[in-house]
Structure 1
């Protein structure tokens, strides 16, 4: 997918039904994959570290969704009604929104308690290939150590006001109950993708021992990077930039550029691979194919010929058209197969070519096998439907081919 603008403001429904404010940052070229960034709870999607990391990821080909959790930043809702579980569900809602509107995310990045949230959400998002955390606590209950008021007072009064990063927040007792019950190490152990843990040894808010606990709970592949003298919020630009570049370079290994995918059907690129005289690499709307010529023609025979692919398109379209029709009619069809033969005949010798053809002509012969409980009339109708296959119609009609030379 080619980006039409660098940043797009979007909204989606969070775990509690509130509208969450988000920004979708696009790369300059083709999108290799989608990532989600979860900010620390005393920050927002527009915090300097959030923007810096998103920009670095877009430089590496990722489209990055940053959003404000329920009740934070520009998102709707009351933070006092949230807890660690709802924040985790907000992340899953973000992943679902990406899947429905663009493509499923392959990378999650989380900062501070946002890092704990991505660790908790990761096993619930099947598309993920990699997760990176920055200064993340090893358990959700760690946030209770940051409260400026007494936890006992919150339990006694049902709620209390706390200071997080210089900002006041109202915390209810249900928040305490939720973080105490949440088993984050168990969630970490469930994730089967790659994990990168970034942490500063001088972090005074979330100690370096948390990185060790996360690392031990995780399965391989896993990596650790020290952020040296960085503070918890990465307030210095050079620290945020370093973390961003490390994450981006690390992600390249697990989500390589050649895995990039486009959403647009009908975009095909065929390029010489350098692996043989006629061997080509093909990107067909994000799907990787190979084209080659047989050994007798000077090729390496490691892929179908262009005419083989043309025949495959006809056979595939025929089979799919018949399946769609049978399903719509609710007919008992258990299996459909189309075998296509391609040959060139002289028009004068071609019994099925009809009038108006001269010289040699391409003839595609289809042999269709339909298994199922169909009567004679149903089989006759299926044969008629085969001729309504879109590729069949394209091959029978004239097509316009417009060619330009790219400078």
Structure 2
């Protein structure tokens, strides 16, 4: 996906480092992702979920909390309250750029942070909130810190280890992390909430999801991430919950009403990335792209893929229509189409000098053991009568006007 690296100013005088994952097509809406405790915006779950949401047309921002990754500030003095402030600043940035309501998505402590930040961001600016493996008890994270917390309380600061990494924490960090009653905050939100959790989570137990769900007001939903680990290290788990969040979010973040919906034909709209382009028909939307080998993001078929698809699908449809009408025991067909862009060198009937002759090579495999040779021959003959075949071999003119 096209990734835009941005910086977000904070009221505390330093900047947060962010990565905005953009759809290769048009933007339906925007989402803000908060990563897990001591992770960064480059954690596996953060990257996987934000890019998956972008594939659904949701521009998604992930960023490093204060003092982590590429962000400024002192992590050792930040604490949970600073995470909430970072989210408010990032949500404001998204709102200014894209307008409309945004989705808030948080993983682990990031999930608790988006729930706590929602009231400060404002209900009128939030489409919905989704949490993944979030703790209901924020001070719970202090249990994952290896060090003498009592000494830090006494002396004002000290060294600890979190997830195998060394950090310098202050008394202020501990105070900011302890001072939050999350279930009470959740009960005040009255926003659509999706709570996702693994019943076998060994770091944040499933009872946390129960507490959050109980505190939340409707509309609320729960998704079980069966067999997933806390950090969503398996790509399939991250992809699954991202797809669920995107589908759930569509209910609260409808398609922008200024998108073109043609009464006939198609409309192609320039998207993001180098080649990303969105195609709209009267009832469908999809993205067209180029492969990575050609500088694209490989998020959709190429224009020549669509050309081959037009011929292949029309061929299959025409043969099936004929077989149904004639009562032929036709079980279907596989039609493979390739595009030969340098056909001129193999063409021995090109009279115009310098003329480039191209070819579509079609291989038709008929399915059905009961077909007779005559029936097979007739179906192949009918294949050449498909409308797209006639259009491509006919005298096709393209008329262009400026809209």
Q: Could you state the TM-score of these two structures normalised by the residue count of structure 2?
A: 0.62
Taking the aligned partners of 1:242 and 1:146, their CA distance within structure 2 comes to 27
Q: Deviations over 1:136-180 (max 9, x none)?
A: 110221111111113212212212222222222222111222222
Shift, 1:15, TM fit: 4.7
Would you say 1:37 and 2:39 are equivalent positions?
Answer: no
Listed as ranges, the gaps of 5+ residues in structure 2 are 265-399
Distance in structure 2 (CA, Å) of the matches to 1:147 and 1:20: 24
Match of 1:13 in 2: 9
Q: Distance in 2 between matches of 1:230 and 1:165?
A: 19
1:125 is aligned to 2:149: no
Q: Which has the higher contact order (CA 8 A, sep 6+)?
A: 2
Q: CA deviation at 1:87?
A: 0.7
Residues 256 and 104 (structure 1 numbering): CA distance in 2 closer, same or farther, change over 3 Å?
Answer: closer
Q: Which residue of the partner structure matches residue 385 of structure 1? A: none
Cα distance per residue 1:274-304 (max 9 Å; x no partner): xxxxxxxxxxxxxxxxxxxxxxxxxxxxxxx
Counterpart residue number, 1:254: 252
Cα deviation code 1:318-360 (max 9, x no counterpart) = xxxxxxxxxxxxxxxxxxxxxxxxxxxxxxxxxxxxxxxxxxx
Alpha-carbon distance change, 234 to 15 in structure 1, aligned in 2, over 3 angstroms: farther
Contact preservation (8 Å) 1:30, 1:260: no
**Does 2:89 match 1:93?**
yes
**Aligned-pair distance for 1:272?**
4.1
Check 1:270–1:131 CA distance in 2 against 1; reply closer, same or farther (3 A cut).
closer
Within-5 A mapping of 1:259-274:
259=256, 269=260, 271-272=262-263
Q: How far apart in 2 are the matches of 1:169 and 1:214?
A: 29
Question: Is 2:144–2:163's contact at 8 Å kept on the other side of the alignment?
Answer: no
Task: Determine if the alignment matches structure 1 residue 57 to structure 2 residue 53.
Answer: yes
**Aligned partner of residue 32 in structure 2, secondary structure:** strand
8 A contact 2:33–2:46 mirrored in 1? yes
Given that residues 15 and 87 in structure 1 are in contact (C-alpha distance below 8 angstroms), is that contact kept between their aligned partners in structure 2? no
Partners of 1:6 and 1:80 in 2: how far apart?
33
Shift of 1:67: 0.6
Give 1:77 shift: 1.4
Residue deviations 1:223-256 (CA, integer Å, cap 9, x gap): 1111111111111122222222221222122212
The structural deviation recorded for 1:45 is 0.7
Change (3 A) 1:34 1:261: farther
Describe the SS at the equivalent of 2:174: helix
Unaligned runs of 5+ residues in structure 1 are 263-268, 274-402
> Is 1:114 paired with 2:107?
no
Q: What are the Cα deviations for residues 22-66 of structure 1, in whole angstroms up to 9, with x where unaligned?
A: 011111222111100000122111111111101111111101111
CA, structure 1 residues 99+143, in 2 after alignment: closer, same or farther (shift >3 Å)? same
Q: CA deviation at 1:134?
A: 0.6
Write the distance in 1 (CA, Å) between the matches of 2:261 and 2:83. Answer: 44
- TM-score norm. by structure 1 comes to 0.62
SS of the counterpart of 2:69? coil
Residue equivalent to 1:214:
212
Residues 24 and 64 in structure 1, CA contact (< 8 A), matched pair in contact too: yes
Other-structure match for 2:200:
202
Alignment partner of 1:77: what SS?
A: coil
Name the CA shift for 1:104/1:11 in 2 (closer, same or farther; >3 Å).
farther
